[in-house]
């Protein structure tokens, strides 16, 4: 806790965001000339979590975008933290990936040190302390969900370090689309199938109504008994069959003129290298 | 989610709030709305509690950046409980407000959060201290804060009386909050009220439909 109370000192190792001011100046001078700085790849995502009768269900789409191009059609956005705690990541893809990996290692060490299985609130606190220390420069929004001795829990952590504890949560660019499904149909203590259907519908809303989300729906169901990671639970956006064929017979395009220019080449040197093809 | 935040002054999730604290005969009432927003158009949470308990009879109302406010109040809670153990007695409200003020003043470049610290202690009874954005600390008989407070300055100046009873103070708080939530788009949800007296702290939630209504609502 004391590591957030000391006055700000530039860290000697690890991340350094000193260049953000210089980059901002460079970006404005570049844009005057008509160029634009490269942008970090974002997951442009829909992620969501709900608490149901027996535990937690986390859901995510699987599209990673690079500005307006889909960089990865089937990436995994639900990351492992500990045996009964998983974390969905939105925002900058690299930040979300590395942050969750760091948390997973730190939580494992902490759990070995205390001799107890980790608590979801521990993961949330470590995440928010780290993200607050970096003042929002680490662009990852996360939904942490899991089951521990205190029962099923669900937290969201924002890039600047604030957090929320709620029975249903959505984050990412498709958050508005997904939360509208939850606002309409969420009930406390739902059954497993009902919960999975609701989550599937919420992520599908994000996939169809948000340009940054797409491809498949991934679900992760966490209960007392264990974890059920359903990769590719649903594929709502199938590629359609092409109506016509685009093959043309040779001779479809008429040849109007034909000119042949022979290129006379002299053989200057010949060398043979035998390849071992066995 | 960045596009939701284009014109906001506050980075990240903002509490965009109305908070108030009122001294009455025998204690303090503090109240807040429950909305957290990103930019001016997305409500990221409808039910957050902006009345953070930092000790048994001392509460802090938060406004401004949610991340900064949560970090500062967690730090203050830790320092205050440590101080209370060292002094072997419940802390003074002024001590709690001082801790918040030190944190806000020493980190004024990085932080964007304002607080109203209120509570009851043995030495001076009920007290209210405002700790503003840059670290100014001020003791007042009543205090309002947050973006919604600008709409109710006239109301509170006209209607506040010193030494009110609990019922009068509760009605005053509910009216003020309802008026502010009615006019400010980033305040809303339910009203959280906490009554702090010598006996302890009592938390009441007033849902939207039970709030007082004014003309043409």
pLDDT digits (tens, 9 = 90+) for B164-215: 999 999 999 999 999 999 999 888 899 999 999 999 999 999 998 889 888 8
- Residue B47: active-site member: no
B136-155: per-residue pLDDT in tens?
Answer: 999 999 999 999 999 999 99
Nearest to A51 by CA among A181, A177, A119, A144: A144
Angle at A54 between CA A103 and CA A109, to 5 degrees: 20
Residue A117 is classified by DSSP as: P
* pLDDT number for residue A233: 86
Q: What is the pTM of this model?
A: 0.75
Name the residue among A4, A5, A158 with its Cβ closest to that of B13.
Answer: A158
Report the distance separating Cα B190 and Cα A102, nearest Å.
38
Q: For residue B88, how many other CB atoms are within 10 A of its CB?
A: 6
- Residue B146 Rama label (left phi>0; alpha psi -120 to 50; beta): left
Q: Using the CB atoms, write b or e for A171-180: b if 16+ within 10 Å.
A: bbbbbbbbbe
Q: Is B60 helix (H, G, I), strand (E, B) or coil?
A: strand
Asked if the Cβ–Cβ distance from A171 to B45 is below 8 Å, we say: no
Instruction: Give the β-pairing of A151-157 and A163-165.
Output: antiparallel
Report the distance separating Cα B131 and Cα B188, nearest Å.
23
Helix H or strand E segment including B194: strand B191-197
Domains of chain A (ranges plus CATH)? Answer: 46-234 (3.60.20.10)
Q: Which residues contact A244 (CB under 8 A, 6 or more apart)?
A: none
* pLDDT number for residue A99: 93
Cβ of residue A161 closer than 8 Å to a chain B Cβ: yes
> What is the sign, positive or negative, of the torsion defined by CA atoms of B100, B102, B108, B110?
negative
Helix H or strand E segment including B203: strand B200-206
| Residue that wins the pLDDT comparison between B43 and B204 | B204
* pLDDT number for residue A40: 65
Q: Which residues contact B16 (CB under 8 A, 6 or more apart)?
A: B10, B35, B36, B37, B146, B147, B148, B184, B186, B187
Q: Does the pLDDT value for residue B7 go beyond 60? A: no
Report the distance separating Cα A55 and Cα A52, nearest Å.
5
- Cα nearest neighbour of B102 on chain A: A5
Contacts of B79 in chain A (CB under 8 A): 5
* pLDDT number for residue A57: 96
Q: Is the ipTM of this complex over 0.90?
A: no
Report the distance separating Cα B81 and Cα A256, nearest Å.
92
Count helices and strands (H / E) in chain B.
4, 12
A272, two tokens: 């043979």
Q: Does the pLDDT value for residue B5 go beyond 60? A: no
Asked if the Cβ–Cβ distance from A164 to B48 is below 8 Å, we say: yes
Q: Which residues of chain A have pLDDT under 70?
A: 1-15, 39-43, 278
Asked if the Cβ–Cβ distance from B110 to A136 is below 8 Å, we say: no
- Any alpha helices (H) in A148-231, and if so which ranges? 175-185, 192-209
* pLDDT number for residue A5: 58
Contacts of B65 in chain A (CB under 8 A): 160, 162
Asked if the Cβ–Cβ distance from A164 to B44 is below 8 Å, we say: yes
* Domain regions of chain B by residue span: 15-209
Calculate the dihedral angle through the C-alpha atoms of B120, B96, B162, B152, rounding to the nearest 10 degrees. Answer: -130
Q: Does the pLDDT value for residue B45 go beyond 90? A: no
A110-143: per-residue pLDDT in tens?
Answer: 999 999 999 999 999 999 999 998 888 888 999 9
* pLDDT number for residue A44: 78
List beta partners, residue A152: A147
Report the distance separating Cα A201 and Cα A75, nearest Å.
20
List the A217-223 sheet strands across, edge first.
A168-171, A47-51, A55-60, A217-223, A227-234
B59-95: per-residue pLDDT in tens?
Answer: 999 999 999 999 999 999 999 999 999 999 999 999 9
* pLDDT number for residue A15: 63
* pLDDT number for residue A198: 96
Residue B153 is classified by DSSP as: H
CATH superfamily membership of B15-209: Aminohydrolase, N-terminal nucleophile (Ntn) domain (3.60.20.10)
Q: Does the pLDDT value for residue B120 go beyond 60? A: yes
Residue B149 is classified by DSSP as: G
- Test the A interface: residue of B11, B13, B108, B189 with most A CBs within 10 Å: B13
The catalytic residue among A20, A43, A45, A264 is A45
Work out the minimum CA distance from B126 to partner chain A, whole angstroms: 29
Across chain A, the runs of DSSP E, i.e. the strands, are 47-51, 55-60, 64-66, 69-72, 78-82, 85-91, 140-148, 151-157, 163-165, 168-171, 217-223, 227-234
Report the distance separating Cα A21 and Cα A158, nearest Å.
22
Q: Does the pLDDT value for residue B4 go beyond 60? A: no
* pLDDT number for residue A3: 53
Q: Is A133 helix (H, G, I), strand (E, B) or coil?
A: helix
Report the distance separating Cα B188 and Cα B34, nearest Å.
6
């Amino acid at each position: 806790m004391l590591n957030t109370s000391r006055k700000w000192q530039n860290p000697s190792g690890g991340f350094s965001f000193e260049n953000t001011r210089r980059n901002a100046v460079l970006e404005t001078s570049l844009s005057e000339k008509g160029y634009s700085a490269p942008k970090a790849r974002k997951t442009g995502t829909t992620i969501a979590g709900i608490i149901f009768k027996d535990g937690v269900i986390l859901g995510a789409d699987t599209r990673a975008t690079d500005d307006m191009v889909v960089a990865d059609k089937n990436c995994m956005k639900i990351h492992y933290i500990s045996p009964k705690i998983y974390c969905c990541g939105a925002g900058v893809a690299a930040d979300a990936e590395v942050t969750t990996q760091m948390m997973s290692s730190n939580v494992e060490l902490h759990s070995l040190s205390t001799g107890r299985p980790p608590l979801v609130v521990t993961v949330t606190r470590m995440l928010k302390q780290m993200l607050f220390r970096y003042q929002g420069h680490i662009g990852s929004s996360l939904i942490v969900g899991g089951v521990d001795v205190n029962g099923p829990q669900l937290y969201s952590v924002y890039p600047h370090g604030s957090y929320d504890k709620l029975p249903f949560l959505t984050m990412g660019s498709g958050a508005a689309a997904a939360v509208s499904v939850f606002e309409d149909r969420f009930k406390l203590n739902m059954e497993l199938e009902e919960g999975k259907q609701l989550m599937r519908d919420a992520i599908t809303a994000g996939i169809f109504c948000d340009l940054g989300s797409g491809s498949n729906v991934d679900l992760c169901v966490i209960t007392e008994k264990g974890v059920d990671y359903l990769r590719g639970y649903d594929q709502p956006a199938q590629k359609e069959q092409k109506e016509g064929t685009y093959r043309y017979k040779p001779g479809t395009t008429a040849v109007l003129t034909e000119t042949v220019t022979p290129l006379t080449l002299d053989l200057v040197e010949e060398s043979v290298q035998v390849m071992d093809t066995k | 989610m960045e596009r939701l935040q284009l014109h906001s002054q506050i980075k990240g999730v903002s509490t965009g709030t109305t908070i108030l604290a009122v001294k009455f005969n025998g204690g303090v009432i503090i109240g807040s709305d429950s909305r957290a927003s990103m930019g001016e158009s997305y409500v990221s949470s409808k039910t957050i509690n902006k009345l953070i308990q930092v000790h048994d009879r001392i509460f802090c109302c938060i406004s401004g950046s949610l991340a900064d406010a949560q970090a500062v109040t967690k730090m203050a809670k830790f320092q205050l409980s440590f101080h209370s153990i060292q002094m072997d007695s419940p802390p003074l409200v002024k001590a709690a407000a001082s801790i918040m003020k030190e944190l806000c003043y020493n980190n004024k470049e990085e932080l964007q959060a304002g607080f109203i610290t209120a509570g009851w202690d043995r030495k001076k009874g009920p007290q209210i201290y405002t700790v503003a954005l840059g670290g100014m600390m001020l003791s007042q008989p009543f205090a309002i804060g947050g973006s919604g407070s600008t709409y109710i300055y006239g109301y509170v100046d006209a209607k506040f009386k010193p030494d009110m009873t609990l019922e009068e103070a509760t009605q005053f708080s509910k009216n003020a909050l309802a008026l502010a939530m009615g006019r400010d788009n980033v305040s809303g949800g339910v009203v959280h009220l906490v009554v702090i007296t010598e006996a302890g702290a009592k938390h009441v939630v007033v849902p939207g439909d039970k709030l007082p209504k004014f003309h043409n609502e």
